[in-house]
Structure 1
Amino acid sequence: MARRIAYTGAPVLTLEQVAEQCRLDTADLQQVLIEQIIIPGVTAQAEARTGAAIREAEYEEDWPEHYGSGHALDMGQASEVLSVGELQADGIVTALAVARFLQRGARESFLHFPDGRPPGVLRIRYKAGADLDAYPGVRSWLLMQAATAHEFRETLITGTILAELPGSFLDALLADITVPPRF
Protein backbone atom coordinates (compact mmCIF):
# COMPACT_ATOMS: atom_id res chain seq x y z
CA MET A 1 0.00 0.00 0.00
CA ALA A 2 1.32 3.41 -0.95
CA ARG A 3 2.02 5.95 1.80
CA ARG A 4 1.39 9.62 1.21
CA ILE A 5 4.55 11.51 2.12
CA ALA A 6 3.27 15.07 1.59
CA TYR A 7 0.83 17.03 -0.50
CA THR A 8 2.72 19.00 -3.15
CA GLY A 9 -0.14 20.58 -5.09
CA ALA A 10 -2.70 23.20 -4.25
CA PRO A 11 -6.09 22.15 -2.86
CA VAL A 12 -8.34 20.88 -5.65
CA LEU A 13 -11.19 23.28 -4.90
CA THR A 14 -11.20 26.96 -4.02
CA LEU A 15 -13.36 28.89 -1.60
CA GLU A 16 -14.92 30.68 -4.58
CA GLN A 17 -15.86 27.42 -6.32
CA VAL A 18 -17.51 26.08 -3.17
CA ALA A 19 -19.34 29.40 -2.63
CA GLU A 20 -20.69 29.27 -6.18
CA GLN A 21 -21.78 25.64 -5.75
CA CYS A 22 -23.52 26.54 -2.45
CA ARG A 23 -25.08 29.60 -4.14
CA LEU A 24 -23.64 31.88 -1.47
CA ASP A 25 -21.50 34.98 -1.44
CA THR A 26 -17.92 34.26 -0.33
CA ALA A 27 -18.41 36.78 2.49
CA ASP A 28 -21.21 34.56 3.86
CA LEU A 29 -19.01 31.46 4.07
CA GLN A 30 -16.87 30.45 6.98
CA GLN A 31 -13.46 30.40 5.30
CA VAL A 32 -11.79 28.17 7.90
CA LEU A 33 -14.62 25.63 7.73
CA ILE A 34 -14.43 25.43 3.92
CA GLU A 35 -10.64 25.48 3.51
CA GLN A 36 -9.60 23.37 6.50
CA ILE A 37 -12.49 20.95 6.97
CA ILE A 38 -14.74 20.59 3.93
CA ILE A 39 -12.25 20.72 1.03
CA PRO A 40 -9.74 18.33 2.67
CA GLY A 41 -12.63 16.11 3.77
CA VAL A 42 -14.20 15.68 0.33
CA THR A 43 -10.75 15.25 -1.20
CA ALA A 44 -9.97 12.43 1.25
CA GLN A 45 -13.39 10.91 0.60
CA ALA A 46 -12.79 10.85 -3.17
CA GLU A 47 -9.30 9.38 -2.70
CA ALA A 48 -10.66 6.65 -0.44
CA ARG A 49 -13.47 5.79 -2.88
CA THR A 50 -11.33 5.73 -6.00
CA GLY A 51 -7.89 4.60 -4.87
CA ALA A 52 -6.59 7.51 -6.95
CA ALA A 53 -4.70 10.60 -5.86
CA ILE A 54 -6.96 13.63 -6.25
CA ARG A 55 -4.71 16.40 -4.87
CA GLU A 56 -1.13 16.15 -6.10
CA ALA A 57 1.15 14.51 -3.55
CA GLU A 58 4.30 12.42 -3.22
CA TYR A 59 3.80 8.74 -2.44
CA GLU A 60 6.13 5.94 -1.50
CA GLU A 61 5.58 2.22 -1.74
CA ASP A 62 7.64 -0.93 -1.31
CA TRP A 63 7.68 -3.58 -4.02
CA PRO A 64 8.44 -7.14 -2.94
CA GLU A 65 10.70 -9.16 -5.20
CA HIS A 66 7.80 -10.89 -6.94
CA TYR A 67 6.53 -7.57 -8.41
CA GLY A 68 7.97 -7.59 -11.91
CA SER A 69 8.56 -4.86 -14.42
CA GLY A 70 5.24 -3.45 -15.58
CA HIS A 71 3.48 -3.84 -12.24
CA ALA A 72 0.86 -1.20 -11.36
CA LEU A 73 1.63 1.42 -8.75
CA ASP A 74 -0.79 1.32 -5.82
CA MET A 75 -2.03 4.89 -6.16
CA GLY A 76 -3.97 5.78 -9.29
CA GLN A 77 -3.16 8.92 -11.29
CA ALA A 78 0.62 8.58 -10.84
CA SER A 79 2.43 11.03 -13.09
CA GLU A 80 6.16 10.88 -12.34
CA VAL A 81 8.59 8.47 -10.69
CA LEU A 82 10.92 10.47 -8.45
CA SER A 83 13.23 7.70 -7.27
CA VAL A 84 13.79 3.96 -7.10
CA GLY A 85 15.87 2.46 -4.32
CA GLU A 86 16.70 -0.94 -2.92
CA LEU A 87 15.54 -1.52 0.65
CA GLN A 88 18.36 -3.22 2.57
CA ALA A 89 17.83 -5.68 5.45
CA ASP A 90 18.84 -2.97 7.96
CA GLY A 91 16.17 -0.57 6.62
CA ILE A 92 18.57 1.66 4.71
CA VAL A 93 17.48 2.56 1.17
CA THR A 94 20.20 2.55 -1.48
CA ALA A 95 19.36 4.74 -4.48
CA LEU A 96 19.43 2.93 -7.82
CA ALA A 97 20.23 4.58 -11.14
CA VAL A 98 18.15 2.31 -13.36
CA ALA A 99 16.33 2.90 -16.61
CA ARG A 100 12.59 3.15 -16.01
CA PHE A 101 9.47 4.58 -17.55
CA LEU A 102 5.93 5.13 -16.37
CA GLN A 103 3.12 3.89 -18.58
CA ARG A 104 0.12 6.05 -17.69
CA GLY A 105 -3.34 4.65 -18.20
CA ALA A 106 -6.67 6.33 -17.53
CA ARG A 107 -6.92 4.71 -14.11
CA GLU A 108 -3.59 3.10 -13.31
CA SER A 109 0.09 3.72 -14.00
CA PHE A 110 2.57 0.90 -14.59
CA LEU A 111 6.29 1.10 -13.79
CA HIS A 112 8.54 -0.58 -16.35
CA PHE A 113 12.25 -1.36 -16.18
CA PRO A 114 13.39 -1.79 -19.82
CA ASP A 115 16.73 -3.35 -18.80
CA GLY A 116 15.07 -5.71 -16.31
CA ARG A 117 13.75 -5.20 -12.81
CA PRO A 118 16.49 -4.71 -10.22
CA PRO A 119 16.68 -7.50 -7.63
CA GLY A 120 15.54 -7.10 -4.03
CA VAL A 121 12.79 -5.15 -2.34
CA LEU A 122 12.35 -1.81 -4.08
CA ARG A 123 11.16 1.47 -2.58
CA ILE A 124 9.44 3.57 -5.23
CA ARG A 125 8.73 7.27 -4.67
CA TYR A 126 6.43 9.04 -7.11
CA LYS A 127 4.05 11.94 -7.68
CA ALA A 128 0.36 11.41 -8.29
CA GLY A 129 -2.66 13.65 -8.64
CA ALA A 130 -5.75 13.84 -10.84
CA ASP A 131 -5.97 16.36 -13.66
CA LEU A 132 -9.43 17.75 -12.96
CA ASP A 133 -9.52 19.50 -16.35
CA ALA A 134 -9.23 16.08 -17.99
CA TYR A 135 -11.82 14.59 -15.61
CA PRO A 136 -14.44 17.32 -15.05
CA GLY A 137 -16.85 14.80 -13.52
CA VAL A 138 -14.48 14.43 -10.59
CA ARG A 139 -14.60 18.17 -9.96
CA SER A 140 -18.40 18.02 -10.14
CA TRP A 141 -18.45 15.19 -7.59
CA LEU A 142 -16.15 17.15 -5.26
CA LEU A 143 -18.28 20.29 -5.54
CA MET A 144 -21.54 18.41 -4.90
CA GLN A 145 -20.02 16.70 -1.87
CA ALA A 146 -18.63 20.02 -0.61
CA ALA A 147 -22.03 21.70 -0.92
CA THR A 148 -23.68 18.81 0.92
CA ALA A 149 -21.02 18.92 3.65
CA HIS A 150 -21.55 22.67 3.99
CA GLU A 151 -25.33 22.39 4.19
CA PHE A 152 -25.25 19.51 6.68
CA ARG A 153 -22.19 20.37 8.77
CA GLU A 154 -23.23 18.39 11.82
CA THR A 155 -23.12 14.61 12.14
CA LEU A 156 -26.72 14.37 13.36
CA ILE A 157 -29.68 16.01 11.70
CA THR A 158 -32.96 16.08 13.59
CA GLY A 159 -36.37 16.77 12.16
CA THR A 160 -35.31 16.47 8.54
CA ILE A 161 -35.53 13.55 6.17
CA LEU A 162 -32.67 13.41 3.71
CA ALA A 163 -32.71 11.49 0.46
CA GLU A 164 -29.41 10.91 -1.26
CA LEU A 165 -28.90 11.14 -4.98
CA PRO A 166 -28.63 7.64 -6.43
CA GLY A 167 -25.20 6.15 -5.72
CA SER A 168 -24.85 5.05 -9.33
CA PHE A 169 -25.12 8.68 -10.46
CA LEU A 170 -22.56 9.98 -7.99
CA ASP A 171 -20.16 7.06 -8.38
CA ALA A 172 -20.25 7.42 -12.17
CA LEU A 173 -18.60 10.83 -11.77
CA LEU A 174 -15.55 9.10 -10.23
CA ALA A 175 -15.55 6.03 -12.48
CA ASP A 176 -12.95 7.42 -14.91
CA ILE A 177 -10.23 7.41 -12.25
CA THR A 178 -11.31 4.57 -9.94
CA VAL A 179 -8.55 2.00 -9.63
CA PRO A 180 -9.84 -1.53 -10.27
CA PRO A 181 -9.74 -3.97 -7.33
CA ARG A 182 -6.71 -6.22 -7.10
CA PHE A 183 -6.68 -9.74 -5.74
Structure 2
Amino acid sequence: MEASEAQYAEFEEKVKRTVYLDNLSPQVNESIVKQALDQFGNVKSVQFIPNYVESKNVPQCALIEMENPTEVNAIVSDIAQKPFMIGGMPRPVRARKAKMEMFDDRPVKPGRTIQFRWLEPNDPDFEVAKKLKELAKIHAVEAEYVLKKQLEDEEKLEKQHQESLKATHKKYKMIDSVIADGTTRQLARGYRLRVADD
Protein backbone atom coordinates (compact mmCIF):
# COMPACT_ATOMS: atom_id res chain seq x y z
CA MET A 1 0.00 0.00 0.00
CA GLU A 2 2.82 2.40 0.92
CA ALA A 3 4.61 1.66 -2.37
CA SER A 4 1.53 2.55 -4.43
CA GLU A 5 1.05 5.78 -2.44
CA ALA A 6 4.70 6.73 -3.02
CA GLN A 7 4.35 5.93 -6.75
CA TYR A 8 1.21 8.07 -6.96
CA ALA A 9 2.90 10.97 -5.11
CA GLU A 10 5.82 10.77 -7.56
CA PHE A 11 3.36 10.86 -10.45
CA GLU A 12 1.66 13.96 -8.99
CA GLU A 13 5.04 15.72 -8.94
CA LYS A 14 5.63 14.74 -12.57
CA VAL A 15 2.25 16.25 -13.53
CA LYS A 16 3.27 19.57 -11.91
CA ARG A 17 6.45 19.60 -14.05
CA THR A 18 4.56 18.88 -17.29
CA VAL A 19 3.07 21.28 -19.84
CA TYR A 20 0.36 20.32 -22.35
CA LEU A 21 0.65 21.72 -25.89
CA ASP A 22 -2.00 21.38 -28.57
CA ASN A 23 -2.63 22.66 -32.12
CA LEU A 24 0.82 21.39 -33.04
CA SER A 25 1.61 20.83 -36.69
CA PRO A 26 1.27 17.20 -37.79
CA GLN A 27 4.86 17.51 -39.07
CA VAL A 28 6.29 18.36 -35.63
CA ASN A 29 8.51 15.73 -34.02
CA GLU A 30 10.24 15.35 -30.65
CA SER A 31 13.46 17.16 -31.62
CA ILE A 32 11.51 20.19 -32.94
CA VAL A 33 9.53 20.47 -29.69
CA LYS A 34 12.71 20.14 -27.59
CA GLN A 35 14.48 22.79 -29.66
CA ALA A 36 11.51 25.17 -29.33
CA LEU A 37 11.23 24.76 -25.53
CA ASP A 38 14.93 24.59 -24.60
CA GLN A 39 14.87 28.37 -24.14
CA PHE A 40 12.67 27.88 -21.06
CA GLY A 41 14.77 25.17 -19.41
CA ASN A 42 15.68 21.52 -19.60
CA VAL A 43 13.17 19.37 -21.51
CA LYS A 44 13.20 15.98 -19.79
CA SER A 45 10.74 14.14 -22.06
CA VAL A 46 8.22 14.65 -24.86
CA GLN A 47 5.20 12.36 -25.10
CA PHE A 48 2.85 12.80 -28.04
CA ILE A 49 -0.75 11.96 -27.25
CA PRO A 50 -2.17 9.37 -29.69
CA ASN A 51 -5.07 10.59 -31.79
CA TYR A 52 -7.55 7.71 -31.64
CA VAL A 53 -10.40 9.47 -33.46
CA GLU A 54 -8.62 9.85 -36.80
CA SER A 55 -7.69 7.07 -39.17
CA LYS A 56 -4.14 8.37 -39.73
CA ASN A 57 -3.42 8.77 -35.98
CA VAL A 58 -1.38 11.96 -36.43
CA PRO A 59 -0.77 13.40 -32.95
CA GLN A 60 -1.27 17.14 -32.58
CA CYS A 61 -0.94 17.31 -28.79
CA ALA A 62 2.00 16.60 -26.54
CA LEU A 63 2.92 16.38 -22.87
CA ILE A 64 6.34 17.89 -22.24
CA GLU A 65 8.03 17.22 -18.91
CA MET A 66 10.32 20.03 -17.76
CA GLU A 67 12.82 20.21 -14.91
CA ASN A 68 10.49 22.09 -12.55
CA PRO A 69 7.03 23.73 -12.33
CA THR A 70 8.53 27.25 -12.71
CA GLU A 71 9.56 26.42 -16.29
CA VAL A 72 6.03 25.16 -16.99
CA ASN A 73 4.58 28.48 -15.75
CA ALA A 74 7.01 30.40 -17.97
CA ILE A 75 5.99 28.38 -21.07
CA VAL A 76 2.25 28.83 -20.41
CA SER A 77 2.69 32.58 -19.81
CA ASP A 78 4.95 33.13 -22.85
CA ILE A 79 2.79 31.21 -25.32
CA ALA A 80 -0.31 33.09 -24.11
CA GLN A 81 1.37 36.42 -24.97
CA LYS A 82 3.43 35.74 -28.12
CA PRO A 83 3.13 33.62 -31.27
CA PHE A 84 4.89 30.30 -30.89
CA MET A 85 7.48 29.69 -33.60
CA ILE A 86 8.14 26.17 -34.89
CA GLY A 87 10.48 25.70 -37.82
CA GLY A 88 10.59 29.44 -38.49
CA MET A 89 6.81 29.75 -38.82
CA PRO A 90 4.26 30.92 -36.22
CA ARG A 91 1.81 28.26 -35.01
CA PRO A 92 -1.50 28.73 -33.14
CA VAL A 93 -0.14 26.53 -30.34
CA ARG A 94 -1.89 26.60 -26.97
CA ALA A 95 -0.18 25.72 -23.71
CA ARG A 96 -1.56 24.89 -20.28
CA LYS A 97 -0.52 23.00 -17.22
CA ALA A 98 -0.99 19.26 -17.55
CA LYS A 99 -3.70 17.38 -15.67
CA MET A 100 -3.57 13.81 -14.40
CA GLU A 101 -6.28 12.67 -16.82
CA MET A 102 -4.03 13.52 -19.79
CA PHE A 103 -1.57 10.71 -19.01
CA ASP A 104 -2.41 7.24 -20.30
CA ASP A 105 0.25 5.68 -18.04
CA ARG A 106 -1.02 7.20 -14.79
CA PRO A 107 -0.97 4.89 -11.78
CA VAL A 108 -4.17 3.90 -10.01
CA LYS A 109 -5.02 6.28 -7.19
CA PRO A 110 -4.73 4.38 -3.88
CA GLY A 111 -8.17 3.34 -2.64
CA ARG A 112 -9.93 4.01 -5.98
CA THR A 113 -12.03 1.37 -7.71
CA ILE A 114 -13.49 1.46 -11.22
CA GLN A 115 -16.69 -0.33 -12.18
CA PHE A 116 -18.06 -0.98 -15.65
CA ARG A 117 -20.95 -2.90 -17.15
CA TRP A 118 -22.30 -3.91 -20.54
CA LEU A 119 -25.49 -2.19 -21.65
CA GLU A 120 -28.42 -4.30 -22.76
CA PRO A 121 -30.73 -2.97 -25.52
CA ASN A 122 -33.55 -2.48 -22.99
CA ASP A 123 -31.29 -0.38 -20.69
CA PRO A 124 -32.27 3.37 -20.62
CA ASP A 125 -28.61 4.33 -21.20
CA PHE A 126 -28.37 2.15 -24.32
CA GLU A 127 -29.83 4.84 -26.63
CA VAL A 128 -27.52 7.47 -25.17
CA ALA A 129 -24.50 5.21 -25.77
CA LYS A 130 -25.71 4.53 -29.32
CA LYS A 131 -25.97 8.29 -30.05
CA LEU A 132 -22.51 8.87 -28.63
CA LYS A 133 -21.13 6.14 -30.88
CA GLU A 134 -22.71 7.77 -33.96
CA LEU A 135 -21.39 11.19 -32.94
CA ALA A 136 -17.89 9.72 -32.55
CA LYS A 137 -18.06 8.36 -36.12
CA ILE A 138 -19.18 11.77 -37.48
CA HIS A 139 -16.45 13.51 -35.53
CA ALA A 140 -13.82 11.11 -36.91
CA VAL A 141 -14.87 11.88 -40.53
CA GLU A 142 -14.86 15.64 -39.86
CA ALA A 143 -11.49 15.48 -38.09
CA GLU A 144 -9.95 13.52 -40.97
CA TYR A 145 -11.16 16.13 -43.47
CA VAL A 146 -9.80 19.00 -41.35
CA LEU A 147 -6.44 17.22 -40.99
CA LYS A 148 -6.23 16.68 -44.75
CA LYS A 149 -6.92 20.39 -45.40
CA GLN A 150 -4.42 21.42 -42.75
CA LEU A 151 -1.68 19.27 -44.28
CA GLU A 152 -2.43 20.70 -47.74
CA ASP A 153 -2.30 24.28 -46.37
CA GLU A 154 0.97 23.61 -44.56
CA GLU A 155 2.53 22.15 -47.71
CA LYS A 156 1.49 25.28 -49.67
CA LEU A 157 2.84 27.53 -46.92
CA GLU A 158 6.14 25.66 -46.84
CA LYS A 159 6.42 25.90 -50.64
CA GLN A 160 5.78 29.68 -50.52
CA HIS A 161 8.34 30.00 -47.73
CA GLN A 162 10.96 28.14 -49.79
CA GLU A 163 10.22 30.23 -52.91
CA SER A 164 10.52 33.43 -50.88
CA LEU A 165 13.88 32.29 -49.48
CA LYS A 166 15.15 31.42 -52.98
CA ALA A 167 14.05 34.82 -54.34
CA THR A 168 15.76 36.65 -51.47
CA HIS A 169 18.93 34.62 -51.97
CA LYS A 170 18.87 35.41 -55.70
CA LYS A 171 18.58 39.17 -54.95
CA TYR A 172 21.53 39.06 -52.56
CA LYS A 173 23.63 37.17 -55.12
CA MET A 174 22.76 39.79 -57.75
CA ILE A 175 23.70 42.64 -55.37
CA ASP A 176 26.99 40.91 -54.54
CA SER A 177 27.82 40.46 -58.23
CA VAL A 178 27.01 44.13 -58.98
CA ILE A 179 29.29 45.26 -56.15
CA ALA A 180 32.05 42.84 -57.17
CA ASP A 181 32.24 43.89 -60.84
CA GLY A 182 32.43 47.64 -60.11
CA THR A 183 29.00 48.55 -61.53
CA THR A 184 28.10 50.46 -58.35
CA ARG A 185 31.12 52.76 -58.75
CA GLN A 186 30.20 53.45 -62.39
CA LEU A 187 26.59 54.24 -61.40
CA ALA A 188 27.81 56.45 -58.55
CA ARG A 189 30.03 58.43 -60.93
CA GLY A 190 27.14 58.74 -63.42
CA TYR A 191 24.78 60.07 -60.74
CA ARG A 192 27.55 62.02 -58.97
CA LEU A 193 27.27 60.08 -55.70
CA ARG A 194 30.02 59.32 -53.27
CA VAL A 195 30.70 55.63 -52.56
CA ALA A 196 32.29 54.72 -49.25
CA ASP A 197 35.45 52.63 -49.54
CA ASP A 198 35.29 49.09 -48.11
Asked if these proteins are the same fold (TM beyond 0.5), I'd say: no
Higher relative contact order (CA 8 A, sep 6+): 1
Higher helix share: 2
Instruction: Tell me which structure has the larger Cα radius of gyration.
Output: 2
| Class of the TM-score when normalised by the shorter of the 2 chains | under 0.3
Higher strand share: 1
